[in-house]
Amino acid sequence: MTVVPLVDIGANLAHDSFDVDRDAVLARARRAGLVHVVVTGSSVASTAAAIALARAHPGFVSATAGVHPHHALELGAEALEALSAALAAPEVVAVGECGLDYFRDYSPRPAQRAAFERQLALAVETGKPLFLHQRDAHEDFLAMLRDVGPRLPRAVAHCFTGSRSEAEQYLALGLHVGITGWICDERRGQHLAEVVRMVPAERLMLETDAPYLLPRTLKPRPASRRNEPMHLTEVCRAVAAARAESPEQTARATSRTAARFFGLGLALPELETA
């Protein structure tokens, strides 16, 4: 596809698998056409690393600040204070990754709900968007979002893998939807073709969730199983095919949506003519 500016709204570049070549990974992303990468904070430590990376690459990298449900037990008073301070950094564009994960249950469910509630409160307090995680916890997740009611800020269901019905419920709440390489998985992601067709362009965004979810449709197959932001072009290609759009149309629309959602202030003049 022609190189068109793309925004990766979720890459775990603080992950230790990138320690040996993080700058090279970002350079490859630029060459592939990415104009911005939002680096996910999923613990107090990875949030600090994401902010440091954003400061090292101003204008190209931003960060989120949050505690993933896997780490819910870590969100005590001291960690909550550190997270609140991190959210004041101008490089931080969203609260999260936060939510519920009943698939792994690495943290007790009551602790997950308590951590999620605290981070929902931080989003309401700061007015920053929410970067949300949900796996096998749809009903509790939805109930907690509904409890916030009209105070709920902008929010994206990151790495959406659910059903059309779940997507409809999220859209009804005003959520955006983030699509990863899961849509490229012929074993478990084919249903997402129907989902992305019904998500309005102004609510749809793309992400790699690197180093996870390497698109299975990549040819030739990379020697490494590690995903990285440059492969967002393959996610874009799959989403475009499902929506009967050109990859250029999908790239333009999703980049425009991401820039608006996160307040990235990107200069994307070519998007205005899409």
The stretches of the chain forming alpha helices (DSSP H) are 22-31, 44-56, 77-86, 109-126, 138-148, 164-172, 192-198, 232-243, 247-262
Separation of alpha carbons 178 and 160, rounded Å: 6
Tens digit of pLDDT for each residue in 228-246?
999 999 999 999 999 999 9
Q: What angle do CA 207, 209, 211 make, to 5 degrees?
A: 135
Residue 3's pLDDT is 59
In a domain, 53, yes or no: yes
Q: Which of 95, 84, 86 is nearest to 40 (CA)?
A: 95
Distance CA 113, CA 218 (A): 37
Task: Provide the β-strand partners of residue 155.
Answer: 130
* 240 belongs to a structural domain: yes
Distance separating alpha carbons of residues 131 and 207, to the nearest angstrom: 12
pLDDT (mean) for 76-98:
97
Q: Has residue 241 been placed in a domain?
A: yes
Average pLDDT, the chain: 95
- With a cut of 60, say whether residue 272 has pLDDT above it: no
Within a domain: 96: yes
The contacts of residue 37 (CB under 8 Å, 6+ apart) are 7, 8, 11, 13, 26, 29, 60, 61, 62, 229
Asked if residue 2 has pLDDT above 60, the reply is no
Report the alpha-carbon distance of residue 251 to residue 176 in Å, rounded: 16
pLDDT in tens, 28-60: 999 999 999 999 999 999 999 999 999 999 999
Using alpha carbons only, give the angle 193, 197, 198 rounded to the nearest 5 degrees: 125
Q: Is residue 87 part of a domain?
A: yes
Say which CATH number the domain at 222 has. Answer: 3.20.20.140
1 located within any domain: no
Give the pTM.
0.96
- Contacting residues for 134 by C-beta, under 8 A, at least 6 apart: 99, 100, 101, 141, 157, 162
Domain with 120, as residue range(s), is 6-273
Question: How many structural domains does the chain have?
Answer: 1
* pLDDT bucket at 25, cuts 50 / 70 / 90: very high
In a domain? residue 162: yes
> 59 in a domain, yes or no?
yes
